[in-house]
Amino acid sequence: MAKHKGRGIATIEYPTGMNQNGDPSQAWVKLKPDGRVDVFSGTVDIGQGSRTVHTQIVADTLGVPFDWVTNDNTNTDSSAVCTGSFASRGTFIGGNAVRFAAEQARERILDIASKELEIAPGDLDIVDGEVVAKGAPDRKIGIPEVAAAATWNYGELITGTGAALKPYADVNNDDGSVELEPHSAISYAACVAEVEVDDETGEVKVERLIQVYDVGRAINPTLVEGQIEGGAMMGLGLGLLEEAYPYYPETDHRGGEFGAYLAPALEDLPDVDNLIIENPSEDGPFGAKAIGEMANNAQPPAIVSAIYDAVGVWVTQLPATPERVLRALDGEKEPRRDGKRVIFDDPVSIRTVSSDGGKGFFETDG
């Protein structure tokens, strides 16, 4: 009876945006008379920090300090459509909506500044809240002055609207093929889990997670790390602890209270080593892809593979509870072999459990 160390790896990919697209986000931007910026986007902040990210995108698209920008996402009267905060779409699609809105407002700022400076808009740039003549940096006007001129002299509201929508990609039901790319981008990640398994109690402790994420461009690295670490905790829950039906498919032992349901707590948090790499997307805001949902996908297979590395058994029904680890240690460890077939998990397969071998699931080609 002993404790054994093991290491396992997983590599994953995950799409940005609703599968098959067709999920718009829209936004609008207006300037106050002192040049400060209001952004109205319907993107719900579910804790991922989309309000902060959208504000950053608008600040840099306009060329104004971050703290000039305010985001209102509070209601459907003042905000335009956002399909929702799901499908890892907030930074890319919601972010493109506010970017496009800010680009339009930027053009209006340059138009007004052009009149004030008597320089063509194409010869102007915006730097740190000032409209500056290209090649003649002493000829400039502050955005507060531009906004004031628009309000009090020209009778104009500087505003911009943006809408991001990738067209719906129809799927061919015969073979699953699509004519249009059915996502906005794909992000990738790798996760290495290092575990210690107690072969007497079946307990698994994850000691370290090394996680690498390609997010295209980290608009806010702190928030990306928040996703990576928060996702890792959820991945630990999936891998080792959480289960709505502990004896699935039976429905007994469902719990029904906090204490009956084990979710990871801070004491379960292993050493985490996060690495962000940036392989930019073609058309996300500033090259961003996404992080979001994928952050809890890589740990469960990495953990299960590390358990195998440690004690030589595959636990392929999640979570890998002490009970399941011990049952696996007591059970058949070798796969069944049949000619060139190497068959794992035979006892739980459809062909074993179904009374007719699951014909309806397998005979699908007529």
Partner 1 sequence: MKAVGARLPRYDGVAHVTGQTQYVDDIRVRGTLWTKALRSPHANAAIKRLDTSKAEALSGVYAIVTHKDVPHNVYGHLEALGIPADEPLLAVDEVRYKGQPIAAVAAVDEDTAREAVDLIEIEYEERAAFFDIRKAMDPDWPNIHQWGPVYPHFGSYNHRRVRKGDIDAAFERADTIVEGVYRPQAIEHCPIEPQTALVVPEANGRLTIYSCTQAMYFSMGVVAAHLQWPLNKLKFVGGTVGGGFGGKVDTASETISALLALKAKRPVKWRWTREEEFLVSSTRAPWHMELADAVTSDGWILGRRMTTLHDAGAYARFSPYGVTKHAFHHTGAYTIPNVHFDGFVVFSNRVPTTAMRGFGVTSVSFAVETHMNRIAEVLGIDPLQLRLKNANRIGDTTPNRVVLKDPSTVPVVLAAADRVGYDLPAEYKSMTNARRSGDLLPEHLVAQLGEPEHSSNGGGR
Q: What is the set of active-site residues? A: 293
CB nearer partner 1, residue 15 or residue 144: 15
DSSP state of 44: -
The C-alpha atoms of residue 365 and residue 150 are separated, in whole angstroms, by: 67
Residue 250-289 contact track with partner 1, rule CB under 8 A, x = bound: xx--xxxxx--x-x---------x-x-x-xxxxxx-x---
Q: In angstroms, give the least distance from the CB of 59 to partner 1.
A: 4
Residue 16 vs 114, nearer CB to partner 1: 16
If the CB atoms of residues 186 and 329 are measured against partner 1, the closer one turns out to be 186
Can you tell me which of 120, 157, 265, 348 binds partner 1, judged by CB under 8 A? 348
By CB under 8 A, which span of 113-121, 151-159, 195-203, 358-366 interacts with partner 1?
Answer: 358-366
Which of positions 22-81 make contact with partner 1 (CB under 8 A)? 22, 24, 42, 44-47, 49, 51-52, 55-57, 59-60, 65-66, 71, 73-77, 79, 81
Please give the structure tokens belonging to residue 281.
């997307």
Residue of 209, 219, 287, 191 whose CA lies nearest to 49? 219
Residue 53 or 119 having the CB closest to partner 1: 53
Closest residue by Cα to residue 329 from 311, 304, 306:
311
Q: How far is the CB of 264 from partner 1 (least distance, A)?
A: 10
Binding to partner 1 in span 139-158, by CB under 8 A: none
3-state secondary structure of 25: strand
**N-to-C CA span, the chain:** 53
3-state secondary structure of 110: helix
Q: Are 123 and 8 in contact (CB under 8 A)?
A: no
Asked if 131 contacts 141 with a C-beta cutoff of 8 angstroms, the reply is yes
